[in-house]
Amino acid sequence: MSDSPFRPTRPRRLRETPALRRLVSETRLDPADLVLPVFVREGAGGPLPISSMPGVVQHSLDSLKGAIAEAAEAGVGGVMLFGVPEVRDAIGSGATDPDGILNVATRVAVEAAGGALVVQTDLCLDEFTDHGHCGVLDALGRVDNDATLERYRDMALAQAAAGSELLGLSGMMDGQVAAVREALDDAGFLNTAILAYSAKYASAYYGPFRDAVESQLQGDRRTYQLDPGNRREGLREAIIDIEEGADVVMVKPAGSYLDVLADVSAASEVPVWAYQVSGEYSMIEAAAAHGWIDRKRAVIESVRSIKRAGADAVLTYWATELAKWIRAGEAA
């Protein structure tokens, strides 16, 4: 024994055994907090692989049912549907057509889910427009905010009628939450909830997604999505959306925006979710495929970090696989 009065503080005590580490863990993963994004394509034939997202496919209506059943079985909390139409036009007509792929897929998904998980839909025009923007364009080719809101209102009604329980407003138009809430309420869809992609950044990490939905985008989305350098503005957008009536707010992408997520989480009165986007997925998959990173550990660490920063739920392409690991006690 040293006669020094100094006794080091020993935080390592609580790291001594697996059981102790488990007991003092601050962040646990739960399948119920995971949402699986799902792509559904129009047309005949089976599912198609997405080359830039190994392991993720564009589902057919038939394979969609299996994916929903598997996710529900694993305890996943919900799915977020994206449509990949065969035909696109300037105003994104397929988005509001009750027989458009996303609305048809929603009906199929609601039936397949049977209430075991929450069926949600992406509410944005980019998958349906031939120019690839999230809204309609004015005579000068700029995205027309208020004309787009009219399209979002109609899209919301089509999705609610198809049975979507939570509409994911991802277009970043000003006033979109208020416009959609009003349209839903006026049509009697009082219980259809709104998930606002509030702090959605103009990110390079959406690259593989553009591939996944075969987006035709020319140019970029910087006049409506946030500048990656702006932290304060992310919080501001979330506060505006909560005031407009958002039931849930979201930060997207997740991994590079944990500071924004922590800010929104601290300030929000409604649940705060985060979207681990396509590029975040593909980076880990690519590094793992080269043997440069331990895939399972990296997946678990990436999602746990997003929850640690304050996300109540996480949209991730690994949702079903991760849920299975959690159930098996392999994702501490």
Helices vs. strands in the chain: H and E counts, helices first: 11, 10
Q: Which of 252, 296, 307, 324 is catalytic?
A: 252
Q: How many angstroms separate the CA atoms of 249 and 239, rounded?
A: 9
Minimal CA–CA distance to 155: which of 112, 78, 94?
94
Q: Of 118-126, 137-145, 259-267, 299-307, which part binds ligand PBG (CB under 6 A)?
A: 118-126
> Does residue number 206 form part of the binding site for ligand PBG (CB under 6 A)?
yes
- Measured from the CB atom, the residue of 208 and 310 that comes closer to ligand PBG is 208
Q: How many angstroms separate the CA atoms of 323 and 296, rounded?
A: 12
CB 319 within 8 A of CB 280: no
> How many residues form the binding site for ligand PBG (CB under 6 A)?
11
The secondary structure element, H or E, covering residue 119 is strand 118-123
Q: Which residue type, as a one-letter code, is found at position 20?
A: L
CB 81 within 8 A of CB 159: no
**Is residue 25 a known part of a binding site?**
no
Q: Of 3-11, 124-132, 145-153, 179-187, which part binds ligand PBG (CB under 6 A)?
A: 124-132
Concatenating the DSSP letter of every residue in 215-277 gives: ----S--TTTSBPTT-SHHHHHHHHHHHHHT-SEEEEESSGGGHHHHHHHHHH-SS-EEEE--
> Does residue number 263 form part of the binding site for ligand PBG (CB under 6 A)?
no
**Is residue 205 a known part of a binding site?**
no
Residues of span 5-64 touching ligand PBG by CB under 6 A: none
- Measured from the CB atom, the residue of 115 and 229 that comes closer to ligand PBG is 229
> Does residue number 124 form part of the binding site for ligand PBG (CB under 6 A)?
yes
What residue is closest to ligand PBG based on CB? Answer: 209
Q: How many angstroms separate the CA atoms of 193 and 69, rounded?
A: 23
SS3 state at 159: helix
> Does residue number 126 form part of the binding site for ligand PBG (CB under 6 A)?
yes
Q: Of 91-99, 126-134, 227-235, 299-307, which part binds ligand PBG (CB under 6 A)?
A: 126-134
Between the CA of residue 45 and those of 42, 63, 116, 321, what are the distances in Å? 9, 10, 27, 25
Place of tokens 């910087």: 222
**Is residue 317 a known part of a binding site?**
yes
- Measured from the CB atom, the residue of 50 and 162 that comes closer to ligand PBG is 50
Q: Shortest gap between Cβ of 221 and ligand PBG (angstroms)?
A: 6
- Read off φ and ψ for residue 272, nearest 5 degrees: -120, 120
Residue 200 falls in the annotated catalytic set: yes
- Measured from the CB atom, the residue of 49 and 269 that comes closer to ligand PBG is 49
> Does residue number 152 form part of the binding site for ligand PBG (CB under 6 A)?
no
**Is residue 60 a known part of a binding site?**
no
Minimal CA–CA distance to 124: which of 143, 104, 99?
143
Q: Of 68-76, 84-92, 121-129, 258-266, which part binds ligand PBG (CB under 6 A)?
A: 121-129
Q: How many CB atoms lie within 10 A of CB 304?
A: 18
Q: Which residues bind ligand PBG (CB under 6 A)?
A: 122, 124, 126-127, 134, 170, 206, 209, 221, 277-278
Specify binding-site residues: 210, 221, 237, 278, 317
Specify binding-site residues for 5-aminolevulinate: 210, 221, 278, 317
Catalytic site residues?
Answer: 200, 252
